[in-house]
A = this chain, B = another copy of it.
Amino acid sequence: MVETIVLKGTTVANKIKDELKKELIELSKIGIYPKLAILRIGEDPSDLAYERGITKNADKIGLDYCIDVLDENVSHEEYVENLNRLNNDESVSGILLFRPFPKHFKPKEIYNTIAEEKDVDCLNSRNLGKIFEGDLSGLTPCTPWAVIELLKYYDIQMAGQNVCVINRSLVVGKPLSMMLLEYNATVTICHTSTEPEKIKKYSRNADIVVCATGNAKMFDSSYFTEESIVIDVGMSMDEDGNMSGDVDFDEVNGKVPFITPVFGGIGPVTTTGLLRNTIRAEKRKHNLG
């Protein structure tokens, strides 16, 4: 048995929100009011739940926002028109698009329509290109940023450490790997074409393991050692219909020194990333950061 420390994301998120709140007060003194624009299609319950999470947090720190709701039968052209309206709206600092889009939409075309400087979800090719080039001075993708912030908050060293990232998407695995390289970590990228036995070899060999497969409870303690730092980014429905992380928390708890919880882990930090990017976007417009 190992004494397991639970890496609470809520604690990290609260600290960041306090800082952002102060930042907004300072900005208001010089007449700057960052605003997040949300573009939603229809009334999907999971979209609404996500939206509530964001607006609740925006309210907490005093960040302005507006929500534009389009009819669920909106055409690609109308959608892009609405996006361009937000691009051109001087009062809007950052734009958040709810995804997945309707099937007939062209996601990449939409991503590259978002104004580079308002792209708070880091979907645009140019912003992703910057991350690839190791330039973290701009808008960084929220989930990878949240992982890094959590590690920093808990003083977990990245330089010279082995990190195993189990995800190769443009939203999580690839940008996170590039960001970890900037922090001088050695990075292994595993994915759906990596056999579970090989994943195990890498995860057991790593100092830090970032699980982001979306397979509920895929990772039991056989994937880890008594020195593993386990970061769980996954969130999906398990066999019993309950929300679960990638990691079988109850089984792994007590066998590794550090682990993020199923709820209140990376998720809340990710949301603050969106608020932070919105404020950063507005500050960059005024050459303030």
Binding site for B on A (CB under 8 A): 125-126, 128-134, 159-160, 162, 168, 170, 174, 177-178, 181, 184-191, 193-195, 198, 201-202, 205
Which of B178, B181, B198, B201 is within 8 Å of A191, CB to CB?
Answer: B181
Chain B contacts of A187 at CB under 8 A? 188-189
Contact A193 B184 (CB under 8 A): yes
The 10 closest A-B pairs by CB, nearest first: A129-B129, A184-B193, A132-B132, A188-B188, A186-B194, A125-B129, A187-B189, A168-B181, A186-B190, A160-B193
Chain B contacts of A202 at CB under 8 A? 162, 186, 188, 205
Please measure, in the bound complex, the distance between the C-alpha atom of A106 and the C-alpha atom of B147, giving whole angstroms: 33
Chain B contacts of A129 at CB under 8 A? 125-126, 128-129, 132
**Given A126-B125, A128-B133, residue A193 in contact with residue B186 (CB < 8 A):** yes
Please measure, in the bound complex, the distance between the C-alpha atom of A160 and the C-alpha atom of B201, giving whole angstroms: 13
Contact B189 A186 (CB under 8 A): yes
Please measure, in the bound complex, the distance between the C-alpha atom of A159 and the C-alpha atom of B192, giving whole angstroms: 11
Closest chain B residue to A160, Cβ basis: B193
Which of B130, B162, B189, B201 is within 8 Å of A125, CB to CB?
Answer: B130
Contact A198 B186 (CB under 8 A): yes
A184-B191, A189-B189 known; 16 other A-B pairs, CB under 8 Å? Answer: A125-B133, A128-B133, A129-B129, A132-B132, A132-B174, A159-B193, A160-B193, A160-B195, A162-B202, A174-B178, A181-B191, A186-B190, A186-B191, A188-B188, A188-B189, A205-B205
Closest chain B residue to A192, Cβ basis: B184
Please measure, in the bound complex, the distance between the C-alpha atom of A79 and the C-alpha atom of B75, giving whole angstroms: 47
Contact B201 A205 (CB under 8 A): yes
Contact A170 B133 (CB under 8 A): yes
Chain B contacts of A178 at CB under 8 A? 132, 174
Question: Would you give the shortest CB distance from A196 to chain B, in whole angstroms?
Answer: 12
Please measure, in the bound complex, the distance between the C-alpha atom of A99 and the C-alpha atom of B226, giving whole angstroms: 48
Please measure, in the bound complex, the distance between the C-alpha atom of A129 and the C-alpha atom of B187, giving whole angstroms: 20
Contact B186 A186 (CB under 8 A): no
Chain B contacts of A185 at CB under 8 A? 193
Contact B126 A126 (CB under 8 A): yes
Please measure, in the bound complex, the distance between the C-alpha atom of A188 and the C-alpha atom of B201, giving whole angstroms: 12
Closest chain B residue to A125, Cβ basis: B129
**Given A174-B178, A191-B186, residue A198 in contact with residue B125 (CB < 8 A):** no
Please measure, in the bound complex, the distance between the C-alpha atom of A41 and the C-alpha atom of B143, giving whole angstroms: 44
Please measure, in the bound complex, the distance between the C-alpha atom of A160 and the C-alpha atom of B128, giving whole angstroms: 26
Question: Would you give the shortest CB distance from A181 to chain B, in whole angstroms?
Answer: 5
